[in-house]
Structure 1
Amino acid sequence: MSVQANARPIIIKRKKVVGGGGHHGGAWKVAYADFVTAMMAFFMLMWLLNATTEQQRKGLSDYFSPTIPISRTSGGGDGNFGGSTVFSEDTLPQNGTGASAQRPTESQQARGDSGMSDEGDIAAQDEVFSSLEALLVGHGGESKVMENELRHVTTRLTDEGLVIELFSTEDAQLFEPRTNTPTALLRSLASLIAETSRTVSNGIAVEGHVAAEPIVLANNLTWDRSADQASVMRVLLEQSAIEPERIKRVTGHADRQPATARNPMSIRNNRLEVILLR
Protein backbone atom coordinates (compact mmCIF):
# COMPACT_ATOMS: atom_id res chain seq x y z
CA MET A 1 0.00 0.00 0.00
CA SER A 2 2.88 2.36 0.85
CA VAL A 3 4.63 1.54 -2.39
CA GLN A 4 1.56 2.47 -4.39
CA ALA A 5 1.28 5.79 -2.53
CA ASN A 6 4.84 6.78 -3.39
CA ALA A 7 4.43 6.07 -7.13
CA ARG A 8 4.88 9.05 -9.50
CA PRO A 9 1.62 10.31 -11.02
CA ILE A 10 1.13 9.66 -14.69
CA ILE A 11 0.54 12.95 -16.67
CA ILE A 12 -0.93 12.60 -20.15
CA LYS A 13 -0.39 15.56 -22.56
CA ARG A 14 -2.64 15.89 -25.57
CA LYS A 15 -1.08 18.11 -28.25
CA LYS A 16 -3.45 19.56 -30.79
CA VAL A 17 -1.91 19.73 -34.23
CA VAL A 18 -3.43 22.36 -36.55
CA GLY A 19 -2.83 21.87 -40.21
CA GLY A 20 -2.49 24.66 -42.77
CA GLY A 21 0.93 26.11 -42.11
CA GLY A 22 0.32 28.63 -39.29
CA HIS A 23 0.82 32.33 -40.27
CA HIS A 24 -1.55 33.56 -43.02
CA GLY A 25 0.45 36.64 -44.22
CA GLY A 26 -0.48 40.38 -44.47
CA ALA A 27 -1.62 40.74 -48.08
CA TRP A 28 -5.00 42.09 -46.94
CA LYS A 29 -3.26 45.00 -45.22
CA VAL A 30 -1.60 46.04 -48.49
CA ALA A 31 -4.93 45.83 -50.31
CA TYR A 32 -6.65 47.89 -47.60
CA ALA A 33 -3.90 50.53 -47.68
CA ASP A 34 -4.28 50.82 -51.46
CA PHE A 35 -8.04 51.24 -51.04
CA VAL A 36 -7.65 53.99 -48.44
CA THR A 37 -5.08 55.80 -50.62
CA ALA A 38 -7.39 55.63 -53.63
CA MET A 39 -10.30 57.03 -51.62
CA MET A 40 -8.16 59.87 -50.31
CA ALA A 41 -7.06 60.73 -53.84
CA PHE A 42 -10.68 60.63 -55.01
CA PHE A 43 -11.88 63.02 -52.29
CA MET A 44 -8.95 65.37 -52.99
CA LEU A 45 -9.94 65.39 -56.66
CA MET A 46 -13.55 66.23 -55.82
CA TRP A 47 -12.41 69.00 -53.48
CA LEU A 48 -10.15 70.49 -56.16
CA LEU A 49 -12.96 70.44 -58.72
CA ASN A 50 -15.18 72.36 -56.30
CA ALA A 51 -12.58 74.80 -54.93
CA THR A 52 -10.81 75.92 -58.12
CA THR A 53 -11.73 78.06 -61.10
CA GLU A 54 -11.67 76.95 -64.71
CA GLN A 55 -8.28 78.62 -65.24
CA GLN A 56 -6.78 76.92 -62.19
CA ARG A 57 -8.07 73.53 -63.33
CA LYS A 58 -6.53 74.10 -66.76
CA GLY A 59 -3.22 74.96 -65.09
CA LEU A 60 -3.31 71.75 -63.06
CA SER A 61 -4.11 69.76 -66.19
CA ASP A 62 -1.22 71.34 -68.09
CA TYR A 63 1.12 70.61 -65.18
CA PHE A 64 0.49 66.87 -65.36
CA SER A 65 0.32 66.73 -69.17
CA PRO A 66 2.50 69.61 -70.41
CA THR A 67 2.09 70.73 -73.99
CA ILE A 68 5.06 73.11 -73.99
CA PRO A 69 8.13 71.43 -75.64
CA ILE A 70 10.87 72.67 -73.31
CA SER A 71 10.18 76.16 -72.01
CA ARG A 72 8.10 79.18 -72.81
CA THR A 73 10.96 80.97 -74.54
CA SER A 74 12.56 78.18 -76.51
CA GLY A 75 11.34 75.88 -79.24
CA GLY A 76 14.00 73.35 -78.25
CA GLY A 77 16.42 73.30 -81.15
CA ASP A 78 17.12 74.20 -84.77
CA GLY A 79 14.19 72.30 -86.29
CA ASN A 80 10.98 73.77 -87.62
CA PHE A 81 11.06 76.76 -85.29
CA GLY A 82 14.79 77.39 -85.47
CA GLY A 83 15.10 77.58 -81.70
CA SER A 84 12.48 80.31 -81.43
CA THR A 85 9.53 80.26 -79.11
CA VAL A 86 6.43 78.44 -80.26
CA PHE A 87 4.23 81.20 -78.84
CA SER A 88 3.30 83.73 -81.51
CA GLU A 89 2.51 86.24 -78.76
CA ASP A 90 6.28 86.50 -78.15
CA THR A 91 7.69 86.29 -81.67
CA LEU A 92 5.16 87.83 -84.05
CA PRO A 93 5.22 91.33 -82.52
CA GLN A 94 9.03 91.29 -82.48
CA ASN A 95 9.26 90.20 -86.11
CA GLY A 96 6.57 92.61 -87.24
CA THR A 97 4.48 89.80 -88.71
CA GLY A 98 1.60 89.62 -86.31
CA ALA A 99 0.07 90.86 -83.09
CA SER A 100 -0.31 90.06 -79.44
CA ALA A 101 -3.35 90.04 -77.19
CA GLN A 102 -2.09 93.26 -75.64
CA ARG A 103 -1.57 94.97 -79.04
CA PRO A 104 -3.96 93.26 -81.46
CA THR A 105 -4.32 94.16 -85.11
CA GLU A 106 -7.65 95.04 -86.68
CA SER A 107 -8.01 91.49 -88.00
CA GLN A 108 -7.12 89.93 -84.62
CA GLN A 109 -4.31 87.80 -86.12
CA ALA A 110 -2.61 86.75 -82.90
CA ARG A 111 -2.38 82.96 -82.89
CA GLY A 112 -0.57 82.20 -79.65
CA ASP A 113 -1.73 82.91 -76.10
CA SER A 114 -5.44 83.11 -75.56
CA GLY A 115 -5.06 86.42 -73.75
CA MET A 116 -6.34 84.97 -70.45
CA SER A 117 -4.72 86.49 -67.38
CA ASP A 118 -2.25 84.44 -65.41
CA GLU A 119 -2.48 83.89 -61.67
CA GLY A 120 -0.59 87.09 -60.88
CA ASP A 121 -2.96 89.20 -62.98
CA ILE A 122 -5.98 87.52 -61.42
CA ALA A 123 -4.72 88.22 -57.91
CA ALA A 124 -4.00 91.84 -58.81
CA GLN A 125 -7.46 92.25 -60.34
CA ASP A 126 -9.09 90.69 -57.27
CA GLU A 127 -7.23 93.16 -55.08
CA VAL A 128 -8.52 96.05 -57.19
CA PHE A 129 -12.07 94.72 -56.98
CA SER A 130 -11.75 94.32 -53.21
CA SER A 131 -10.65 97.95 -52.96
CA LEU A 132 -13.66 99.00 -55.02
CA GLU A 133 -15.95 97.05 -52.70
CA ALA A 134 -14.43 98.80 -49.70
CA LEU A 135 -14.75 102.17 -51.45
CA LEU A 136 -18.38 101.53 -52.30
CA VAL A 137 -19.34 100.36 -48.81
CA GLY A 138 -17.26 103.15 -47.29
CA HIS A 139 -19.71 105.72 -48.59
CA GLY A 140 -22.17 104.43 -46.01
CA GLY A 141 -20.48 106.33 -43.20
CA GLU A 142 -21.10 109.74 -44.75
CA SER A 143 -24.75 110.16 -43.83
CA LYS A 144 -27.85 108.39 -42.61
CA VAL A 145 -29.43 108.73 -46.05
CA MET A 146 -26.50 107.01 -47.73
CA GLU A 147 -26.72 104.12 -45.27
CA ASN A 148 -30.36 103.66 -46.22
CA GLU A 149 -29.43 103.60 -49.88
CA LEU A 150 -26.71 101.00 -49.37
CA ARG A 151 -29.29 98.67 -47.84
CA HIS A 152 -30.23 98.02 -51.47
CA VAL A 153 -26.71 97.10 -52.57
CA THR A 154 -24.83 93.81 -52.36
CA THR A 155 -21.52 92.91 -53.99
CA ARG A 156 -19.84 89.63 -54.85
CA LEU A 157 -16.68 88.65 -56.69
CA THR A 158 -17.07 86.11 -59.51
CA ASP A 159 -15.00 84.74 -62.37
CA GLU A 160 -16.66 87.33 -64.61
CA GLY A 161 -15.80 90.28 -62.39
CA LEU A 162 -17.20 92.39 -59.55
CA VAL A 163 -21.00 92.13 -59.46
CA ILE A 164 -22.82 95.08 -57.86
CA GLU A 165 -26.45 94.11 -57.29
CA LEU A 166 -29.16 96.69 -56.69
CA PHE A 167 -32.53 95.41 -55.49
CA SER A 168 -35.95 96.70 -54.51
CA THR A 169 -37.62 96.32 -51.13
CA GLU A 170 -41.24 96.71 -50.04
CA ASP A 171 -40.69 100.25 -48.76
CA ALA A 172 -38.30 101.47 -51.48
CA GLN A 173 -38.18 100.36 -55.11
CA LEU A 174 -35.79 101.01 -57.97
CA PHE A 175 -38.57 101.70 -60.49
CA GLU A 176 -42.10 102.94 -60.21
CA PRO A 177 -44.39 99.87 -59.89
CA ARG A 178 -44.77 97.99 -63.18
CA THR A 179 -43.02 100.75 -65.16
CA ASN A 180 -39.54 101.57 -66.39
CA THR A 181 -39.46 104.96 -64.66
CA PRO A 182 -36.48 105.14 -62.28
CA THR A 183 -37.04 106.37 -58.74
CA ALA A 184 -34.88 108.87 -56.90
CA LEU A 185 -33.30 105.90 -55.10
CA LEU A 186 -32.06 104.36 -58.34
CA ARG A 187 -30.75 107.68 -59.63
CA SER A 188 -28.76 108.16 -56.42
CA LEU A 189 -27.40 104.60 -56.55
CA ALA A 190 -26.44 104.98 -60.22
CA SER A 191 -24.52 108.15 -59.39
CA LEU A 192 -22.75 106.38 -56.52
CA ILE A 193 -21.77 103.37 -58.65
CA ALA A 194 -20.58 105.60 -61.48
CA GLU A 195 -18.41 107.60 -59.08
CA THR A 196 -16.83 104.39 -57.81
CA SER A 197 -16.45 102.86 -61.30
CA ARG A 198 -14.60 105.91 -62.62
CA THR A 199 -11.57 104.91 -60.53
CA VAL A 200 -10.95 101.98 -62.92
CA SER A 201 -11.23 101.44 -66.66
CA ASN A 202 -12.85 97.98 -66.73
CA GLY A 203 -15.69 97.26 -69.11
CA ILE A 204 -19.21 97.28 -67.68
CA ALA A 205 -22.16 94.94 -68.21
CA VAL A 206 -25.70 95.76 -67.07
CA GLU A 207 -28.30 93.03 -66.45
CA GLY A 208 -31.95 93.41 -65.54
CA HIS A 209 -34.15 91.01 -63.56
CA VAL A 210 -37.83 91.28 -62.62
CA ALA A 211 -40.26 89.28 -60.49
CA ALA A 212 -42.61 86.77 -62.05
CA GLU A 213 -46.17 87.72 -62.92
CA PRO A 214 -48.93 86.33 -60.66
CA ILE A 215 -50.77 84.91 -63.69
CA VAL A 216 -49.69 83.36 -66.97
CA LEU A 217 -49.91 85.94 -69.74
CA ALA A 218 -50.17 85.23 -73.44
CA ASN A 219 -47.54 87.93 -74.02
CA ASN A 220 -44.83 87.69 -71.35
CA LEU A 221 -43.90 91.31 -70.70
CA THR A 222 -41.15 90.45 -68.20
CA TRP A 223 -38.61 90.12 -71.03
CA ASP A 224 -39.25 93.61 -72.34
CA ARG A 225 -39.43 95.16 -68.89
CA SER A 226 -36.15 93.62 -67.69
CA ALA A 227 -34.33 94.64 -70.87
CA ASP A 228 -35.78 98.16 -70.73
CA GLN A 229 -34.82 98.59 -67.08
CA ALA A 230 -31.26 97.46 -67.82
CA SER A 231 -31.13 100.00 -70.65
CA VAL A 232 -32.40 102.72 -68.29
CA MET A 233 -29.57 101.88 -65.90
CA ARG A 234 -27.09 102.14 -68.78
CA VAL A 235 -28.39 105.63 -69.58
CA LEU A 236 -28.12 106.70 -65.93
CA LEU A 237 -24.50 105.52 -65.79
CA GLU A 238 -23.65 107.40 -68.98
CA GLN A 239 -25.33 110.51 -67.60
CA SER A 240 -23.06 110.13 -64.56
CA ALA A 241 -19.92 110.49 -66.72
CA ILE A 242 -19.32 106.81 -67.57
CA GLU A 243 -17.89 106.59 -71.09
CA PRO A 244 -20.36 104.84 -73.46
CA GLU A 245 -17.47 102.75 -74.83
CA ARG A 246 -17.12 101.03 -71.46
CA ILE A 247 -20.62 99.53 -71.69
CA LYS A 248 -20.01 96.08 -73.20
CA ARG A 249 -23.37 94.37 -72.64
CA VAL A 250 -26.96 95.18 -71.68
CA THR A 251 -29.11 92.12 -70.96
CA GLY A 252 -32.64 91.40 -69.78
CA HIS A 253 -33.20 88.08 -67.98
CA ALA A 254 -36.94 88.48 -67.34
CA ASP A 255 -37.97 86.29 -64.36
CA ARG A 256 -35.70 83.35 -65.25
CA GLN A 257 -33.05 83.90 -62.54
CA PRO A 258 -34.93 84.81 -59.34
CA ALA A 259 -32.95 85.83 -56.28
CA THR A 260 -35.55 84.10 -54.10
CA ALA A 261 -36.43 80.92 -55.95
CA ARG A 262 -39.04 79.89 -53.36
CA ASN A 263 -41.12 82.95 -54.19
CA PRO A 264 -40.59 84.04 -57.81
CA MET A 265 -43.10 86.89 -57.32
CA SER A 266 -41.15 88.42 -54.41
CA ILE A 267 -40.23 92.06 -54.88
CA ARG A 268 -36.65 91.10 -53.99
CA ASN A 269 -36.41 89.64 -57.50
CA ASN A 270 -36.72 93.13 -59.00
CA ARG A 271 -33.07 93.97 -59.29
CA LEU A 272 -30.25 95.24 -61.49
CA GLU A 273 -26.71 93.92 -61.73
CA VAL A 274 -23.82 96.16 -62.74
CA ILE A 275 -20.76 94.02 -63.47
CA LEU A 276 -17.24 95.43 -63.64
CA LEU A 277 -15.73 92.94 -66.08
CA ARG A 278 -12.26 91.50 -65.75
Structure 2
Amino acid sequence: MSKKKHPEHVNHERWLVSYADFITLLFAFFVVLFASSQSDKKKQLKLSAAIQSAFTPLGTFDAHSKTPPLTDTNAAAITNSIPAAIVLPLPSTSTETLEQTEARLRKLLAEQVAAGRIPPGGVTMRITPDGLVISLHEAGFFPSGSAEVRAASIPMLSILATTLPAGPLRVEGHTDNVPIHTEQFASNWELSTARSTAIARLLLERGPINPANLSAAGYAEFHPVASNNTEDGRTQNRRVDVILLRHSANSQ
Protein backbone atom coordinates (compact mmCIF):
# COMPACT_ATOMS: atom_id res chain seq x y z
CA MET A 1 0.00 0.00 0.00
CA SER A 2 1.40 3.40 -1.03
CA LYS A 3 2.42 5.92 1.61
CA LYS A 4 -0.02 8.81 2.00
CA LYS A 5 1.43 12.15 0.80
CA HIS A 6 1.02 15.15 3.03
CA PRO A 7 0.21 18.52 1.32
CA GLU A 8 3.23 20.89 1.03
CA HIS A 9 3.26 23.64 3.65
CA VAL A 10 2.94 27.13 2.07
CA ASN A 11 5.15 29.85 3.62
CA HIS A 12 2.89 32.90 3.95
CA GLU A 13 5.74 35.12 5.23
CA ARG A 14 7.74 35.15 1.98
CA TRP A 15 6.76 38.79 1.38
CA LEU A 16 8.94 39.82 4.31
CA VAL A 17 12.06 39.14 2.24
CA SER A 18 10.99 41.50 -0.55
CA TYR A 19 9.85 44.09 1.98
CA ALA A 20 13.19 43.97 3.79
CA ASP A 21 15.06 44.42 0.48
CA PHE A 22 12.85 47.40 -0.40
CA ILE A 23 13.44 49.07 2.97
CA THR A 24 17.20 48.51 2.64
CA LEU A 25 17.28 50.12 -0.81
CA LEU A 26 15.15 53.03 0.38
CA PHE A 27 17.49 53.60 3.32
CA ALA A 28 20.52 53.57 0.98
CA PHE A 29 18.78 56.08 -1.33
CA PHE A 30 18.19 58.56 1.51
CA VAL A 31 21.75 58.11 2.76
CA VAL A 32 23.04 59.08 -0.70
CA LEU A 33 20.73 62.12 -0.79
CA PHE A 34 21.90 63.23 2.64
CA ALA A 35 25.57 62.77 1.76
CA SER A 36 25.23 64.74 -1.49
CA SER A 37 23.54 67.62 0.35
CA GLN A 38 26.49 68.05 2.71
CA SER A 39 28.95 70.29 0.84
CA ASP A 40 32.62 70.41 1.67
CA LYS A 41 32.98 73.48 3.90
CA LYS A 42 36.73 73.70 3.34
CA LYS A 43 36.20 73.89 -0.43
CA GLN A 44 33.55 76.56 0.11
CA LEU A 45 35.93 78.64 2.19
CA LYS A 46 38.72 78.30 -0.39
CA LEU A 47 36.33 79.45 -3.12
CA SER A 48 35.19 82.37 -0.97
CA ALA A 49 38.79 83.45 -0.39
CA ALA A 50 39.57 83.22 -4.11
CA ILE A 51 36.55 85.32 -5.08
CA GLN A 52 37.35 87.90 -2.41
CA SER A 53 40.97 88.24 -3.54
CA ALA A 54 39.86 88.61 -7.18
CA PHE A 55 37.26 91.32 -6.61
CA THR A 56 38.80 93.29 -3.74
CA PRO A 57 40.84 95.51 -6.13
CA LEU A 58 37.57 96.52 -7.85
CA GLY A 59 35.95 97.44 -4.56
CA THR A 60 33.03 95.14 -5.29
CA PHE A 61 33.06 93.42 -1.87
CA ASP A 62 33.66 94.82 1.57
CA ALA A 63 37.07 94.06 3.05
CA HIS A 64 37.26 90.94 5.24
CA SER A 65 40.00 88.88 6.77
CA LYS A 66 42.22 87.15 4.20
CA THR A 67 41.50 83.68 5.64
CA PRO A 68 37.86 83.02 6.58
CA PRO A 69 37.47 81.15 9.90
CA LEU A 70 36.96 77.39 9.58
CA THR A 71 33.84 77.29 11.72
CA ASP A 72 30.28 76.27 11.10
CA THR A 73 28.13 79.11 9.88
CA ASN A 74 24.39 79.40 9.97
CA ALA A 75 22.97 78.75 6.49
CA ALA A 76 20.82 81.88 6.63
CA ALA A 77 23.83 84.01 7.52
CA ILE A 78 25.71 82.61 4.52
CA THR A 79 22.79 83.37 2.21
CA ASN A 80 22.46 86.93 3.50
CA SER A 81 26.16 87.59 3.01
CA ILE A 82 26.09 86.78 -0.74
CA PRO A 83 25.74 89.94 -2.86
CA ALA A 84 22.68 90.06 -5.10
CA ALA A 85 24.74 90.97 -8.18
CA ILE A 86 28.28 91.83 -9.13
CA VAL A 87 28.30 95.33 -10.59
CA LEU A 88 30.85 98.06 -10.77
CA PRO A 89 30.54 100.58 -7.91
CA LEU A 90 28.92 103.88 -8.72
CA PRO A 91 31.36 106.74 -8.22
CA SER A 92 30.51 109.80 -6.22
CA THR A 93 29.60 112.33 -8.89
CA SER A 94 28.08 115.14 -6.86
CA THR A 95 31.04 117.39 -7.68
CA GLU A 96 32.36 115.61 -10.80
CA THR A 97 32.76 117.86 -13.84
CA LEU A 98 32.06 116.76 -17.40
CA GLU A 99 35.80 116.70 -18.03
CA GLN A 100 36.35 114.37 -15.07
CA THR A 101 33.51 112.13 -16.21
CA GLU A 102 34.99 111.99 -19.71
CA ALA A 103 38.45 111.05 -18.37
CA ARG A 104 36.97 108.31 -16.15
CA LEU A 105 34.90 106.85 -19.00
CA ARG A 106 37.83 106.95 -21.43
CA LYS A 107 39.79 104.74 -19.04
CA LEU A 108 36.94 102.22 -18.83
CA LEU A 109 36.50 102.22 -22.61
CA ALA A 110 40.22 101.60 -23.13
CA GLU A 111 39.90 98.49 -20.95
CA GLN A 112 36.96 97.27 -23.07
CA VAL A 113 38.92 97.79 -26.29
CA ALA A 114 41.90 95.92 -24.80
CA ALA A 115 39.56 93.05 -23.83
CA GLY A 116 38.30 92.88 -27.44
CA ARG A 117 34.67 93.66 -26.57
CA ILE A 118 34.54 96.72 -28.85
CA PRO A 119 36.77 97.61 -31.81
CA PRO A 120 39.20 100.55 -31.64
CA GLY A 121 37.27 103.69 -32.50
CA GLY A 122 33.97 102.00 -31.74
CA VAL A 123 33.25 104.64 -29.09
CA THR A 124 34.29 108.29 -29.23
CA MET A 125 33.58 111.16 -26.85
CA ARG A 126 33.44 114.92 -27.05
CA ILE A 127 32.13 117.78 -24.93
CA THR A 128 29.60 120.09 -26.60
CA PRO A 129 27.41 122.96 -25.38
CA ASP A 130 24.69 120.35 -24.72
CA GLY A 131 26.94 118.17 -22.55
CA LEU A 132 29.18 115.10 -22.80
CA VAL A 133 28.47 113.19 -26.03
CA ILE A 134 29.36 109.46 -26.05
CA SER A 135 29.11 108.22 -29.65
CA LEU A 136 28.50 104.49 -30.14
CA HIS A 137 29.46 103.80 -33.75
CA GLU A 138 27.61 101.27 -35.88
CA ALA A 139 30.62 99.01 -36.46
CA GLY A 140 30.89 98.20 -32.75
CA PHE A 141 27.23 97.97 -31.81
CA PHE A 142 24.94 97.14 -34.78
CA PRO A 143 25.06 95.01 -37.91
CA SER A 144 24.61 97.06 -41.08
CA GLY A 145 20.98 98.10 -41.61
CA SER A 146 19.88 96.51 -38.31
CA ALA A 147 18.69 97.85 -34.95
CA GLU A 148 19.60 94.68 -33.03
CA VAL A 149 22.46 95.37 -30.61
CA ARG A 150 25.47 93.07 -31.02
CA ALA A 151 25.74 90.59 -28.12
CA ALA A 152 29.48 91.26 -27.78
CA SER A 153 28.86 94.94 -26.99
CA ILE A 154 26.31 94.36 -24.21
CA PRO A 155 28.97 94.08 -21.43
CA MET A 156 30.29 97.48 -22.52
CA LEU A 157 26.76 98.97 -22.37
CA SER A 158 26.26 97.43 -18.91
CA ILE A 159 29.41 99.16 -17.65
CA LEU A 160 28.27 102.43 -19.21
CA ALA A 161 24.84 102.12 -17.60
CA THR A 162 26.29 101.52 -14.11
CA THR A 163 28.95 104.24 -14.27
CA LEU A 164 27.09 107.15 -15.84
CA PRO A 165 26.49 109.85 -13.23
CA ALA A 166 22.92 110.60 -12.26
CA GLY A 167 21.36 113.27 -14.42
CA PRO A 168 19.36 113.85 -17.60
CA LEU A 169 20.31 111.69 -20.59
CA ARG A 170 19.33 111.92 -24.23
CA VAL A 171 19.91 109.05 -26.68
CA GLU A 172 20.05 110.07 -30.35
CA GLY A 173 20.13 107.78 -33.37
CA HIS A 174 21.93 108.97 -36.54
CA THR A 175 22.57 107.48 -39.99
CA ASP A 176 24.44 108.43 -43.15
CA ASN A 177 22.65 109.78 -46.22
CA VAL A 178 22.41 106.43 -48.03
CA PRO A 179 18.66 105.67 -48.28
CA ILE A 180 17.35 102.49 -46.73
CA HIS A 181 14.09 100.78 -47.67
CA THR A 182 13.58 97.32 -46.23
CA GLU A 183 10.66 95.32 -44.92
CA GLN A 184 11.51 96.51 -41.40
CA PHE A 185 12.67 100.09 -42.04
CA ALA A 186 10.97 102.29 -44.62
CA SER A 187 13.59 105.04 -44.26
CA ASN A 188 16.54 106.21 -42.20
CA TRP A 189 14.10 107.84 -39.78
CA GLU A 190 12.79 104.46 -38.66
CA LEU A 191 16.29 102.94 -38.46
CA SER A 192 17.77 105.78 -36.39
CA THR A 193 14.77 105.82 -34.03
CA ALA A 194 14.86 102.04 -33.55
CA ARG A 195 18.58 102.09 -32.74
CA SER A 196 18.27 104.90 -30.20
CA THR A 197 15.35 103.11 -28.54
CA ALA A 198 17.32 99.83 -28.36
CA ILE A 199 20.25 101.54 -26.62
CA ALA A 200 17.95 103.44 -24.26
CA ARG A 201 16.17 100.23 -23.27
CA LEU A 202 19.46 98.46 -22.53
CA LEU A 203 20.71 101.37 -20.41
CA LEU A 204 17.50 101.24 -18.37
CA GLU A 205 17.72 97.47 -17.94
CA ARG A 206 21.41 97.41 -16.98
CA GLY A 207 21.78 100.42 -14.68
CA PRO A 208 20.05 102.52 -12.01
CA ILE A 209 18.95 105.18 -14.50
CA ASN A 210 15.78 107.09 -13.70
CA PRO A 211 13.41 106.63 -16.68
CA ALA A 212 12.10 110.17 -16.12
CA ASN A 213 15.61 111.48 -16.92
CA LEU A 214 15.94 109.57 -20.19
CA SER A 215 14.72 110.44 -23.69
CA ALA A 216 15.34 108.86 -27.10
CA ALA A 217 15.05 110.26 -30.62
CA GLY A 218 16.02 109.51 -34.20
CA TYR A 219 17.48 112.15 -36.54
CA ALA A 220 18.18 110.04 -39.65
CA GLU A 221 20.95 111.64 -41.75
CA PHE A 222 20.22 115.26 -40.83
CA HIS A 223 22.73 115.74 -37.97
CA PRO A 224 26.03 114.56 -39.49
CA VAL A 225 29.39 114.99 -37.75
CA ALA A 226 31.37 114.42 -40.95
CA SER A 227 30.92 114.66 -44.71
CA ASN A 228 28.75 112.03 -46.33
CA ASN A 229 30.81 112.33 -49.52
CA THR A 230 33.40 109.82 -48.26
CA GLU A 231 33.14 106.32 -46.82
CA ASP A 232 35.03 107.39 -43.70
CA GLY A 233 32.64 110.27 -43.16
CA ARG A 234 29.58 108.06 -43.62
CA THR A 235 31.07 105.60 -41.11
CA GLN A 236 31.37 108.38 -38.51
CA ASN A 237 27.78 109.49 -39.14
CA ARG A 238 26.30 106.03 -38.50
CA ARG A 239 26.14 106.25 -34.71
CA VAL A 240 24.02 106.44 -31.55
CA ASP A 241 24.90 109.35 -29.27
CA VAL A 242 24.36 109.04 -25.51
CA ILE A 243 24.43 112.61 -24.23
CA LEU A 244 24.94 113.45 -20.57
CA LEU A 245 23.09 116.77 -20.60
CA ARG A 246 24.23 119.83 -18.69
CA HIS A 247 20.60 120.71 -17.94
CA SER A 248 17.28 118.92 -17.94
CA ALA A 249 15.74 118.62 -21.38
CA ASN A 250 12.52 120.11 -19.97
CA SER A 251 14.34 123.28 -18.97
CA GLN A 252 15.79 123.95 -22.42
TM superposition score normalised by structure 1 = 0.46
1:272 aligned onto 2:250: no
Corresponding residue number in structure 1 for 2:147: 180
Q: CA deviation at 1:244?
A: 3.9
Kept after mapping to 2: 8 A contact 1:204/1:277: yes
Matches for 1:1-278 after TM superposition, within 5 Å? 128-139=97-108, 140-141=110-111, 144-145=114-115, 148-149=118-119, 151-169=121-139, 173-197=140-164, 200-213=165-178, 221-263=187-229, 266-278=234-246
> Which residue type is aligned with residue 178 of structure 1?
G
Aligned residues: 149
CA–CA distance in structure 1, aligned partners of residues 169 and 195 of structure 2 = 16
CA–CA distance in structure 2, aligned partners of residues 249 and 224 of structure 1 = 16
Corresponding residue number in structure 2 for 1:53: none
Paired-residue identity, %: 26
Q: Which has the higher contact order (CA 8 A, sep 6+)?
A: 2
Q: 1:260 to 1:126 in 2, by over 3 A?
A: farther
Q: Which runs of 5+ in 2 are unaligned?
A: 1-92, 247-252
Q: CA deviation at 1:180?
A: 1.2
Corresponding residue number in structure 2 for 1:105: none
CA–CA distance in structure 1, aligned partners of residues 152 and 204 of structure 2 = 17
Q: 1:210 to 1:264 in 2, by over 3 A?
A: farther
> Over the residues paired in the alignment, what is the CA RMSD in angstroms?
3.1
Q: CA deviation at 1:154?
A: 1.3
User: Deviation above 6 Å: which 4+ runs of structure 1?
Assistant: none
TM superposition score normalised by structure 2 = 0.51
Q: CA deviation at 1:152?
A: 1.2
Q: CA deviation at 1:179?
A: 1.6
Kept after mapping to 1: 8 A contact 2:175/2:239: yes
Q: 1:256 to 1:147 in 2, by over 3 A?
A: same
Q: Which runs of 5+ in 1 are unaligned?
A: 1-123
Kept after mapping to 1: 8 A contact 2:161/2:209: no
Kept after mapping to 2: 8 A contact 1:149/1:185: no
CA–CA distance in structure 1, aligned partners of residues 203 and 177 of structure 2 = 26
| Bigger radius of gyration | 1
